[in-house]
Amino acid sequence: MTVAELRTMIEGRDVFRAKAVFELAARASGDESAVAALAHVSRIDFVRDDRLFHLVSLAWAAIIGLLAAETPSARRAAYEAFADLSATDQGDLLRYLKADSIESAHPASL
């Protein structure tokens, strides 16, 4: 599937939207369009509220995927997406990542 098709699945609340986020995350280290798509979907309200389990949302998965890509543009997009989260969500995500700051978080790929 193309990045556009994956993004459309997420935006359309497709039953496979989580798999689409994970696929975009897998592509992010070598595909700038996947980085842009993850940055975009991480800011959609229902994606922020769509919990995979406990506190972990699809938006977190997108941000973690951006961080794991370890490219300058992906890291920058992750920092910006993180800044748009609520203060509570920011704190919870940092605890989940076991990091003192978003800049110090270097998760493994999803």
pLDDT (tens place) for every residue of the chain, 110 residues total: 999 999 999 999 999 999 999 999 999 999 999 999 999 999 999 999 999 888 899 999 999 999 999 999 999 999 999 999 999 999 999 999 999 999 999 998 66
The answer to whether 3 touches 37, Cβ cutoff 8 Å, is yes
DSSP character at residue 55: T
Cα-based distances in Å from 45 to 23, 72, 84, 103: 20, 25, 11, 24
Rounded-to-integer distance, Cα 106 and Cα 68, Å: 6
Q: What is the model's pLDDT at position 110? A: 63
Q: Domain coordinates of the chain in residue numbers?
A: 3-100
Quote the distance between the C-alpha of residue 80 and its chain's center.
Answer: 11
**pLDDT for residue 108:** 86
